[in-house]
């Protein structure tokens, strides 16, 4: 069987979707020695030096642009026919929908439908168009969580038999060589809250900053106990910076645009706790990564976070800064609760490692499509 995959996403700055794709390819190569993979790559792109795929594969290079263009669609259709591709698998919603082969696509979330302000009109329309093309042309759809799967089924019941949740990968920190007590520059061990995610409105950073200020005022903290926000900058970044300035928290809050996996390791390893108060998500990769380090976790009381944490962490009303600040304060003051939450995170991560195997599930779905 020949499986086609567009691998351009490997070249993006690795946020959640890209991290999952990178680890998925590596794991597919480890478990599938039978099938042949054809990786579609733009002629001008250079394959990353640390690209790792141990299965049978070939790289197919040709010039193509945006997947939605008619020219690109026709090129993909032709190349897929010439290569004898049986199944085309896409890790995003964009894919060659007119190609004559089985097509499996991925819908990570429906955030554009709930938080419109994170998207320009053009981007929103493209998201909606690709979503509808997925519903109509895909032979099978995968999601990273039961939450996303159930949301789609509730809106489109006829899809019940052509959609499934396969889970998601996270960054593999096992091979990163860091000195045990090395802290990120300018920070002290267990002296900062950590939040990770692109600067979208749905990440709810303004409410988090308000909660952090309440926490500081109640505990009469000096500026050595910080809030660190790591995430790709966006059109919302300036409003976050302005908000920090209005509250006089420039010395208390650290904003980082992008950090390497080595730096990310240090941020997780030394934080006091991890916080995610998003309004809506499709999964929650940083939450699982934080569990890997035994970080206590405070997060929004939303369905997908209940799912991936098995109801085990501290949940808060993400619309209420006082509720978030109260959870921060509880962890800071109650050492027994803090240690209990560390153990819960460690246990939840062991459960994740045991149950999570997206590559195996996806390979089973691909195989079933040709029966």
The model's pLDDT over 4-32, given as tens digits with 9 standing for 90+, comes to 998 877 765 667 788 888 889 999 999 99
What is the predicted pLDDT for the residue at 181?
Answer: 63
The model's pLDDT over 244-283, given as tens digits with 9 standing for 90+, comes to 999 999 999 999 988 888 899 999 999 999 999 999 999 9
Report pTM: 0.93
Is the pLDDT at 168 greater than 90? The verdict is yes
Q: Which of 268, 270, 272, 303 is nearest to 287 (CA)?
A: 268
Domains of the chain: 2-169+356-369 (3.40.50.2000), 192-355 (3.40.50.2000)
Residue pair 344/313 in contact (Cβ under 8 Å)? The answer is yes
Average pLDDT score, the chain: 92
The model's pLDDT over 108-157, given as tens digits with 9 standing for 90+, comes to 999 999 999 999 999 999 999 999 999 999 999 999 999 999 999 999 99
Among 19-23, 93-97, 164-168, 219-223, where is mean pLDDT lowest?
A: 219-223
Band (pLDDT 50/70/90 cuts) for residue 44 is confident
Percent of the chain at pLDDT > 70 equals 98
The model's pLDDT over 59-97, given as tens digits with 9 standing for 90+, comes to 999 888 888 889 999 999 999 999 999 999 998 898 999
Q: Which of 112, 139, 116 is nearest to 128 (CA)?
A: 112
What is the predicted pLDDT for the residue at 171?
Answer: 85
């Amino acid at each position: 069987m020949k499986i086609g995959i567009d691998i351009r996403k490997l070249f993006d700055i690795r946020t959640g979707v890209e991290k999952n794709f990178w680890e998925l390819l590596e794991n597919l190569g480890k478990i599938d020695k039978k099938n042949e993979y054809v990786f579609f790559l733009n002629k001008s792109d250079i394959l990353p030096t640390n690209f790792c795929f141990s299965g049978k594969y070939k790289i197919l290079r040709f010039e193509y642009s945006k997947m939605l263009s008619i020219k690109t669609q026709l090129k993909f259709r032709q190349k897929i026919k010439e290569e004898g591709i049986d199944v085309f698998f896409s890790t995003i919603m964009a894919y060659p929908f007119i190609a004559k082969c089985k097509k499996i696509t991925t819908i990570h979330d429906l955030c554009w439908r709930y938080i419109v302000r994170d998207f320009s009109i053009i981007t929103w329309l493209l998201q909606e168009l690709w979503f509808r093309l997925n519903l109509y042309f895909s032979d099978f759809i995968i999601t990273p969580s039961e939450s996303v799967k159930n949301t789609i089924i509730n809106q489109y019941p006829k899809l019940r038999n052509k959609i499934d949740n396969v889970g998601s990968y996270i960054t593999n920190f096992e091979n990163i060589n860091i000195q045990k007590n090395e802290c990120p520059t300018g920070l002290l061990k267990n002296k900062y809250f950590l939040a990770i995610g692109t600067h979208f409105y749905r990440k709810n950073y303004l409410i988090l900053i308000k909660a952090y200020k309440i926490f500081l005022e109640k505990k009469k903290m000096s500026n050595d106990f910080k809030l660190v926000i790591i995430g790709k900058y966006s059109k919302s970044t300036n409003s976050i910076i302005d908000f920090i300035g209005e509250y006089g928290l420039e010395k208390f809050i650290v904003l980082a645009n992008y950090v390497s996996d080595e730096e990310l390791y240090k941020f997780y390893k030394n934080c006091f706790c991890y916080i995610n108060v998003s309004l809506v998500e499709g999964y929650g990769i940083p939450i699982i990564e934080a569990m890997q380090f035994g970080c206590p976790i405070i997060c929004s009381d939303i369905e997908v976070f209940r799912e991936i944490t098995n109801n085990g962490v501290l949940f808060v009303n993400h619309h209420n800064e006082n509720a978030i600040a109260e959870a921060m304060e509880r962890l800071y003051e109650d050492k027994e609760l803090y240690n209990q939450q560390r153990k819960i995170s460690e246990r939840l991560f062991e459960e994740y490692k045991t149950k999570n195997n997206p590559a195996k599930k996806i390979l089973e779905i691909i195989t079933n499509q040709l029966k």
